[in-house]
Chain A
Amino acid sequence: MKRILIIVLCLTLILSTFVGCSKSDEAGANNQGNEVKNGEQTSESSKFGGTITIGTYADPDTLNPLTGNDIAGSWILNLIYPKLMKLDENGNKVPYIIEEPEISEDGLTVTVTLKDGLKWQDGTPITSKDIDFTYRVLYEQKLQWQYEVLNNITWETPDDKTIVFRLQEPFPTFITTIGYWQRIVPAHIWSEIDDIKNYANENPVGFGPFKLTEYERGQYYILERVDEFFLSPEGKPYLEKVIFKPYPDINTMVLALKSGDIDVTAKEIPATAAKEFEGSSEFNVVQNQDLGYEHLAINLRDPLLKDVNIRTAMAMAIDRSQIVNFAFDGAAEEMPGIISPVYQKYQIGNYFPSYDVEGAKKILADAGYKDTDNDGILNAPNGENLSFKVMFANSITAHEKVSRILVDNMKAIGIELIPEPMDKSLQTDKLYNTGDWQLTINTWGAIDDVESSMATLFLSTASLNWMGYNNPVADDAMLKMKSAITEEETMNFMDIFQKEITKDIPDIPLVVKKNNFAYNNKFEGFVKLPSILEGIINPTSLSQVYIRK
């Protein structure tokens, strides 16, 4: 009896694999029937109504806009709380609830004026007092990371619409940085809360195209449209409701989209899945540029990796085209220098040495590394093998593939890499606390305002500089670049900085990925913004999306 049971169980397992396949074929057949609909025109007046269901990868860490710090939360919170600035389609920061900010000639005064007639969802007008309150709380209670931006900055509110910031030294990207990253809260509600840091904010009152009406953690977040929103072409959003559903597993989310449980994914989907959706007539796939990039960081405290010859040889041994092909399925761009090609302006010819296996071998041979024990791995003069551990988060598929490619690439020049998949939190702990690592594959999340953000990554005192990079010339260039007022000055210091970093190689940039987002094409009007933070789920986009009738 037991044996029969085992056999039956095995057969069921095998059969279920095939059933899974045939289902997707059926879906493919259905898609073809829908093609006719796509050609129809939609009339203006019939755009209102309907619900969109969005797949996200997790619940927001909190609904408190002053402490929330994760991407899943930002998709929801950005729809209900405003910022001073937003991204446009080219990745520039443009005014959202304010007019164009005025920066004085000496760069020390920034005047911000609110747009006319904006009101919180409870009817109270939005004033400069709200901005003042938010920034004050942020700075006094040291919330998120944005409070650091407000260091040495004072401000005043001469009237209800204006706020004037005074800086001690020029910081041209001050208003774009704080303006883009910091959400504003209504002072009349939040000034009555005692413990803002731990406030759960269960009934948020904000400003945006939608308001949160109902939610169940782990299940759904229902947002309903507001009656008036200035970014909507017809005065208010077309969609009646927006529902967010968390799917912790990306494959499950893709299946949910396929089966119609959700209409769009807020999180980017794997390239293979995107290809599948591209082939279907029921879905559209759009791609956006990432503002960060993937990189191989080097621990400069390591006795062997201290040697710039090893780092240079490693940089030359990496075949980035294979990383683009295999780890990102073609949806990525090679990084030639330290600044992402997304920012064309800063591509000024300071590039890392390009792919050259023979050249890399020569550098190592000239520096005295020889394979003295004939094990295929080069040895340092003291006999030590050139063998390094490279860590990556086991949850990031692309990084695992990058590690496999790097192992092969390094083998070709006689360096052994040992991949070490680990829990993301352990990797973070090693980078920020213990310093017990040699190489790591990571992502720089979103590098915006390049001229100021380089200092947050590579300055010898920066908390993100776990590589331990310390070059006084580069430090000076980064600081001057941050406070440079004229374009010429900025570019001058940018050039010095780039030359230093491409010579020192503390970090090897790999590729900039493109993110794929898929949506059911009964919806139209999405606005695609750069970075994984925005994608096609952002206030600008959702205030314009409608259902094709």
Chain B
Amino acid sequence: MLELKKKSSFRKRWEKEIKAFLNHKIGMIGLFGVIFLVIVAILAPVIAEPVSGYGNYEDKLLKPSSEHLFGTDDMGLDLFSQVVWGTRSSIKVGIIAVILALAIGVPIGLISGYYGGIFDTIGMGITDIFLTIPMLPLMIIIAAIAESNSINMVAFIIGIFSWPSIARITKSSTLKVCGMQYIEAAKCLGIKTKSILLKHVLLNASTPVFINLTIVMASSIVTESSISFLGLGDPLTHSWGKILHNAYQSGAFGTAWWYSLFPSLAIIFFVISFNFLSMGVRDALNPRISRE
């Protein structure tokens, strides 16, 4: 009986939160944006033929037309195809970066918050060091000296530098949850620490972490663009930053407006979609706001 009641209240809370999210206009715009990007990424092979190497000399720097929706670049290649395939690399980079950030940030945050003491000092010490290092220049240096420049490598570099914010947030929400009576109760009942950490602490502390993840996702793509723009990305993968890099290097930055406009719009769209989504999720999961 008690079990049933508990479940129904849990479901009720979820229903309420989903309803709050559905009513959140900005959040919904973000959600549709993200869904759109994911569809484009999955259907890239159907939407546009992949391009590589070089095209025809006559097709160099053509303005947008019905044949080339976004025009062509200085290698005679279709830009629409590059932007579409760029969505794939962007989402790939985002996902790898987020997984890495979670894999490093969450354990550090959880252990620092739950055990405190020396664990906290060391964990947060490392986090603070990473937070004080100017990340972008460091990532650029690593990308410049790395042996491989594949898109996975770039994603890896971004991932290993994106975890400090996740670690901090995990720690602060862990601290909050640990103060709750049910954790104390679980400890008294002799439940294993691992189980307490994963089932009780992490599950309840996950909301702010989840919100932060969408922000990591958005910022990772900006970082990837910066690295590619500086010519340190993967030369064979299409990414939005890479297109911008090519546009800038071509010397046609002032004349061929389509060359830089479309990848810029794609980056803006990606970042805004994920930021809007995070706003929606944050407001929906925040009981004070969702009640209003």
Interface residues in chain A, defined as those with a beta carbon under 8 Å from any beta carbon in chain B: 3, 6, 10, 13-14, 17-18, 20-21, 24, 250-251, 254-255, 258, 269-273, 276, 322, 325-326, 329, 394-395, 397, 400-401, 403-405, 407-408, 411, 418-423, 426
Contacts and interface: CB of A to CB of B under 8 A. Distances in A.
Given A403-B235, A421-B232, 9 more contacts: A14-B264, A17-B257, A21-B257, A24-B255, A251-B248, A270-B250, A394-B232, A395-B231, A405-B53
A407 to B, nearest CB: 6
Contacts, number: 100
B167 to A, nearest CB: 25
Contact of A419 (B76, B235, B250, B257): B235
A35 to B, nearest CB: 21
B160 to A, nearest CB: 20
Contact of A405 (B26, B54, B230, B253): B54
B251 interface: yes
Most central of A254, A255, A272, A411 by chain B CB within 10 Å: A272
A404 B149 contact: no
A117 B232 CA distance: 55
Contacts of A270: 249-251
Nearest to B26: A3
B122 interface: no
A251 B251 contact: yes
Interface string B47-74: 0000011100100110000000000001
B260 interface: yes
A448 B265 CA distance: 49
A404 B144 contact: no
A325 to B, nearest CB: 5
B28 interface: no
A408 B55 CA distance: 11
B145 A423 contact: yes
A421 B235 contact: yes
B162 to A, nearest CB: 21
Contacts of B268: 10, 13-14
A334 to B, nearest CB: 15
Contacts of A272: 61, 74, 250-252, 255
18 contacts: A13-B268, A20-B257, A254-B251, A255-B254, A270-B249, A322-B54, A325-B57, A326-B76, A394-B232, A400-B231, A400-B249, A403-B235, A404-B53, A405-B54, A418-B236, A420-B148, A421-B149, A423-B144
Given A326-B57, A397-B250, A422-B144, A6 B272 contact: yes
A3 B54 CA distance: 41
B136 interface: no
A18 B265 CA distance: 13
A407 B53 contact: yes
B170 to A, nearest CB: 24
Given A24-B254, A420-B149, A326 B74 contact: yes
Given A13-B268, A401-B75, A407-B236, A18 B257 contact: yes
Contacts of B248: 251
Which 3 residue pairs across A and B have the least CB separation, nearest first?
A: A270-B251, A408-B53, A394-B231
Contacts of B145: 422-423, 426
B43 interface: no
A271 B230 CA distance: 20
A271 B61 CA distance: 13
B249 A20 contact: no
Nearest to A7: B272
Contacts of B251: 250-251, 254, 269-273
A273 B272 CA distance: 34
A322 B149 CA distance: 25
Contacts of B158: none
B261 interface: yes
Interface in B225-262: 230-232, 235-236, 248-255, 257, 260-261
B279 interface: yes
Contacts of A426: 144-145
A325 B74 CA distance: 10
B112 interface: no
B57 A3 contact: no
A394 B230 contact: yes
Contacts of B148: 420
B275 interface: yes
Contacts of A401: 75
A403 B61 CA distance: 20
Given A326-B76, A407-B53, A276 B254 contact: yes
A10 B272 contact: yes
A454 B201 CA distance: 72
B144 A3 contact: no
Nearest to B230: A394
A14 B230 CA distance: 21
A276 B254 CA distance: 10
A251 B259 CA distance: 15
A270 B231 CA distance: 17
A329 B57 CA distance: 9
A302 B261 CA distance: 44
B266 to A, nearest CB: 12
Contacts of B279: 3
A329 B76 CA distance: 11
A21 B53 contact: no
Nearest to A3: B26
Contacts of A411: 53
Contacts of B261: 14, 17
Contacts of B272: 6, 10
A400 B235 contact: yes
A410 to B, nearest CB: 10
Contacts of B231: 394-395, 400, 421
A21 to B, nearest CB: 5
B264 A20 contact: no
A17 B260 contact: yes
Contacts of A404: 52-54, 75, 235-236
B75 to A, nearest CB: 5
A400 B74 CA distance: 13
A535 to B, nearest CB: 17
Nearest to B146: A422
Contact of B255 (A13, A276, A403, A423): A276
B249 A397 contact: yes
A153 B130 CA distance: 59
Nearest to B248: A251
Contacts of A403: 235
Contact of A408 (B26, B52, B74, B147): B52
Given A394-B144, A404-B235, A423-B144, A6 B74 contact: no
A40 to B, nearest CB: 30
A522 B148 CA distance: 49
Contacts of B252: 272-273
Contacts of B249: 270, 397, 400
Nearest to B276: A3
B70 to A, nearest CB: 14
Contacts of B235: 400, 403-404, 419, 421
A385 to B, nearest CB: 16
A17 B268 CA distance: 14
B196 to A, nearest CB: 37
A537 to B, nearest CB: 20
A489 B126 CA distance: 70
Contacts of B60: 326
